[in-house]
Structure 1
């Protein structure tokens, strides 16, 4: 199912239901965390963002158009190229969402003491994947000698005067 707007709300709703209905009481859950979709932005593959849950943190890619990617069988993997390198995504399917791709970042989530720490890690991970902004290098600055002799010597050499 293609999305014309960032799909964070739909993704959160689906995984909140999974948390409540399928994951309730599982020992892998970090009770300090909740389901949260972050930073969904358009990229050449569709909508890319991060999903934090009490049991995992993944990069998630959802289609922006009906022909965003060729269908794969659920569970099959696909390598996608981003500015920072190649990442392996696994195809998944949600009844409400249709096909989406996920790339595991963290699981389990015990090492995150709270939602804010998980959110900070998610934002840093996404920034690392999409790559840094181009750095414009300053031209090297030559060391300048401020001695009078060197200054005057340079002037005389350029003018053709002899010492």
Structure 2
């Protein structure tokens, strides 16, 4: 008998990536409830949400929005990385290279994260945080943003500067 994954591999990969994002969100919801809610960096208007998790070149990637940060997050491949918590890992995206920080998050294991916003007080509500996360993820997956992030003469291997990248996303969104 042929499994659902064999019959519909793209749908299964997407479902796996989405499920991993939801598992990650559940971990951050627990962290929010246990230890973050009373801290001054916690934005009560926001909640924890996994946004746009998908498979890209064999790696799960998406946006994690919490009341205290917004990060691009990727799942570390089991047994394929020599990176340990606290080290940096450069990954290539259509918009350019991003330098992630590797960390360990029980019970999901090793993740790599790229911080976009922290704290999150510039967001008045979850709809605006979600819209920003979706816009950043779309820009990251767009090769057209490589030139905007790096400039016409920059080599392809230079990492994306967060401020320049976000200014490009914010300019594109407002236009």
TM-score (norm 2): 0.69
TM-score (norm 1): 0.74
Instruction: Give the C-alpha shift of residue 45 in structure 1.
Output: 4.7
User: Does the C-alpha gap of structure 1 residues 83 and 132 become closer, same or farther in structure 2, counting only changes over 3 Å?
Assistant: closer
Matched, 1:66 2:78: yes
Matched, 1:10 2:1: no
Aligned to 1:29: 42
Instruction: Give the C-alpha shift of residue 75 in structure 1.
Output: 1.2
Structure whose alpha-carbon radius of gyration is higher: 1
Instruction: Give the C-alpha shift of residue 78 in structure 1.
Output: 1.1
Q: Alpha-carbon deviations, 1:15-64, whole Å to 9, x = none?
A: 0111111212000011100000011010115111000000000001014x
Distance 1:61 1:28 in 2: 24
- Provide the aligned length of Structure 1 versus Structure 2: 128
Structure 1 residues without counterparts, runs of 5 or longer: 134-163
Aligned to 2:162: none
Structure 2 residues without counterparts, runs of 5 or longer: 1-12, 145-175
> Runs of 4 or more off by more than 3 Å in structure 1?
none
Aligned to 2:171: none
Higher helix share: 2
Distance 1:121 1:75 in 2: 27
Matched, 1:127 2:138: yes
Is the contact made by 1:54 and 1:109 (CA closer than 8 Å) also made in structure 2?
Answer: yes
**1:89-108 correspondence to structure 2 within 5 Å:** 89-108=100-119
Q: For 1:17, what is the secondary structure of its paired residue?
A: helix
Q: Alpha-carbon deviations, 1:82-103, whole Å to 9, x = none?
A: 1101111010111210111100
Instruction: Give the C-alpha shift of residue 8 in structure 1.
Output: 1.6
User: Does the C-alpha gap of structure 1 residues 80 and 45 become closer, same or farther in structure 2, counting only changes over 3 Å?
Assistant: farther
User: Does the C-alpha gap of structure 1 residues 106 and 52 become closer, same or farther in structure 2, counting only changes over 3 Å?
Assistant: same
Q: For 2:73, what is the secondary structure of its paired residue?
A: strand
